[in-house]
Structure 1
Amino acid sequence: MVHIVGAGPGDPELITVKGSRYLAEADVVIYAGSLVNPALLSLCKKGAAIHNSAKMTLDEVIAMIEAAERKGEMTVRLHTGDPAIYGAIQEQMDALEKRGIGYDVIPGVSSFLATAAALKQEYTLPGISQTVIITRNEGRTPVPDRERLRSLAAHQATMCIFLSITMLDTVVQELIAGGYEETTPIAIVQRASWPEQKIVRATLATISKEIEGMNIDRTAMIVVSRCLGADYELSRLYAPEFSHGFRKARKPGKE
């Protein structure tokens, strides 16, 4: 059995209990070395075969899993964050299915959620934004025309932009061209939840200048939203005059 495990955003304590257990039980661990925090490997049992997939091809990864399966060994394929988001796991799952190899997927805490925690920010504030768009700018991996940043910006939603920090100037230009005002708040968080976490806050007009000399690298998350520091309406969930299945509305002045 192969377990595809989301390692979380970096902090070793943010892997799920199930993911941690499988990692501790695995005979073979193949981890995404360019992104996964090596501290997580301390959870592996003594004698486990640990392999960094950063320099491996898909065929090499699958061949290694097949070899482990023939030996009756349990494999953990360890991905950063949640493997369903930019994890390139679909091609791995399809390859396993073609070979009749059983697998499951253990979700993890995505970096866009760790970024919200680092910013101490709710992405869905009433009256501001009730939609979160997870996307990326076009690079070597193409993006459909309808999903380009310029098109998505028209929604004025909270936008979490992966894998795009090296193209920040282009990102900013596309967002403004799509409808965001230059004064729209933006935050960049590098390695959310890691000890070396960095946070930069600015506006679309000023962010490029703000990060100069800060050595912000490709692992950083970009968040664009009026939620960042905005006035907002209070949630109806806890309003005394609002009824729901667990509480009846209260009249003003009534306890």
Structure 2
Amino acid sequence: MKNLVYFIGAGPGDPDLITVKGRNLISDADIIIYAGSLVSSDHFKYCKDKVQIFNSASMTLKEVIGTIKNYFFQGKKIVRLQTGDPSIYGAIKEQMDELQKLNIPYEVVPGVSSFTAAAAAINREFTLPNVSQTVILTRAEGRTPVPQNEDLERLASIGASMALFLSVGMIDKVVSKLRKGYGRNVPVAVIQRATWGDQKCVVGTLDDISKKVKDANITRTAQILVGDFIDCRYDNSLLYDENFSHMFRGSKNEDSGN
């Protein structure tokens, strides 16, 4: 482990969904600062005995950076353990900028995002041929503003597959905007705490998903997946079509000389 600060994606919940690299870095760390409300404490089973662990749920940015600064210049190996993949709603840019001002080097180790874990939980594929080849990751506007040109209604009008973070607490508002954007009733799935032991999955459409979410008492820590990919007819991929050739495989007709 180099003398760097490592921002590591811990994955969506199941501790076995962290990368091998991430787990190895955790096992060698002297200091771990983790998002306590979202990251499983089971990760710490792999830590060495004298590791010091800080829960960032109650810390400000200044306190996080101060802790890193203090221990880094003592020569300690530091891990900043984030939920999911740190590049998506991870608030790591502001942390990295502060470390750069202090000339503290860092590295980002990617992780499994909750949006892919949510799709896996309901055994779906976002990008089906002749249905959708685009996935939009976004959120509804709450206390954190959303740029006007990224309004949910406008994005929904594209008709692409969508994954909404941090929005299930505003499910009625989300449904209203999606309905205006899509212009029709489309399938919706809501997955709470994907890959955790208490995972919940609710599948419906814009017509009934709000009621189903409320009946299931899903109020936070959930992904909203939207689009025809959840329930539709689709074309098979050309990748495995016997009549489709690519650089690793000739077509059946080519192989037979026909």
TM-score (norm 2): 0.96
Per the alignment, residue 36 of structure 1 pairs with 39
- In the TM superposition, what whole-angstrom CA distance separates every residue of 1:162-213 from its partner, at most 9, and x where no partner exists? 000000000000011112412x100000111111111000000101111223
- What corresponds to 1:193 in structure 2? 195
Q: Which residue identity is paired with 1:148? A: D
Aligned to 1:214: 216
Counterpart residue number, 2:120: 117
Q: How many residues are aligned here?
A: 254
Matched, 1:17 2:20: yes
Q: Which ranges of 4 or more aligned residues in structure 1 deviate by more than 3 Å?
A: none
**Is 1:146 matched up with 2:156?**
no
Match of 2:90 among 68, 81, 87: 87
Q: Kindly provide the CA deviation profile for residues 69-88 of structure 1, in whole angstroms up to 9, marking residues without a partner as x.
A: 12100100000000000000
Identity, % of aligned positions: 52
Q: CA RMSD in A?
A: 1.4
3-state SS of the aligned residue for 2:228? coil
Matches within 5 A, 1:139-178: 139-178=142-181
Do the aligned partners of 1:11 and 1:193 also contact (CA within 8 Å) in 2?
yes
Matched residue of 2:84: which SS? coil
The one-letter amino acid paired with 1:215 is N
- Residue 34 of structure 1 and its aligned partner are, at CA, apart by 1.4
Q: Give the one of 79, 83, 87 matched to 1:76.
A: 79
- For 1:48 and 1:138, the matched residues in 2 are separated by 39
C-alpha deviation, 1:60, in angstroms: 0.2
1:120-167 alpha-carbon deviations (Å, 9 max, x no partner): 111000010000000000111110111010010111000000000000
State the alpha-carbon separation in 2 of the partners of residues 64 and 179 from structure 1: 47
Contact 1:156 1:180 in 2 (8 A): no
Letter of the aligned partner of 1:120 in structure 2? N
TM-score (norm. length: structure 1): 0.97
Question: What does residue 126 of structure 1 align with?
Answer: 129
Q: Which one-letter code corresponds to 2:167 in the other structure?
A: S
